[in-house]
Structure 1
Amino acid sequence: MSKSETAADALEATLDQDWIETAADTIQPLLRQVEGRLPDRVLDLLHGVPIGHPLHPALVHLPLGGWMTAGMLDLMGVFGNAEADRAADTVLLLGTVGATATIVTGWTDWSNTRGAARRDGLVHGLTNETAFLLNIGSLLARRKHHRKLGRLLSGTALLLSIAGAFMGGQLVYRHGLGVGHTMDVRQG
């Protein structure tokens, strides 16, 4: 990476792949079909029209906050703190449940993207959904008293969600996704 090239530039070049376009060409029409069956007021809500800006960025804080807090509590639990283990399980569950609305609103916003934003958004979504699934696996492992496996799964998920958050920043700050977004969405 040259001095003038940033991590964001390197990521953009990495994501300029035909297979990502092919996947987007398959997934995007399916999402639009689902959206076509929803009432207008539901789509407006998912896009954040009632609050005046996209809903997805506001919802991101619950899963990320829960997953980060679970990671910190898991570290405490490694040293034998049973209360930290119970608290980690609780916030991991809250973050994972909270991720469902985040996922739905993210895919709703992504369904209208094009070009580099569409590629970046697809990888952002798939990265975060992988983290979501790993956290579900972590919750199941913890429930079956496989705490080490649970920590490994949620720790891996946390790293993925941080990478996904970086890509989400790319979507807003590099591509302007969601900036003035609701102005283009049907208002009633």
Structure 2
Amino acid sequence: VYILAVTGNCTVMFIVKVEPSLHAPMYFFLCMLAAIDLALSTSTVPRILSFYWFGTREISFGACLVQMFLIHTLSAIESTVLLAMAVDRYVAICHPLRHAAILTNAATVKIGLVAMARGVLFFLPLPLLLLPLPFCRSRVLSHSFCLHQDVMNLACANTTPSIVYGLTAILLVMGLDAILICLSYILILKAVLRLASWKERLKV
């Protein structure tokens, strides 16, 4: 499964790179999603496979924090890219004459950089908040990979700051993105329904 994921995502990125007709914002966003999926798979699947194949049940605390940071950060970047794709579709359908001027290739690159910065800035504090905490309980995780909630539950100190920050970060990133994505598709649906004829609707 991991090999298929790597092959599939690399194929998508290669095709977009070598085919000039695909050098458009939507396909660049697809490449970003492929790269994110590749990074997520690489940060989790090999560890899961070693657990099931070789019975390797231990992971160092530092490696666990790094994996946790990667999982949450990459998920946040993916959420931002999905929002950008929704906005791209909104502009293409509701403001087609301005689409090429608004979503240029340079703007797409900037969106990708903003997505990365946003993910890192919001989720870098998660491992930093857990780093000084003492862990004196059972150190068995409920998942085969490290998640913030999982690791935090093993601490034997006050985890309120970590809980509050974790919920705030998720709401401000994934929660806000989900609302904006739904809003953009509602606006797209309204624009489509306003079209004069079924023939024009089918064109969209």
Both proteins in one fold, TM over 0.5:
no
Q: What band does the TM-score fall into relative to the shorter chain?
A: 0.3 to 0.5
Return the TM-score normalized by structure 1. Answer: 0.34
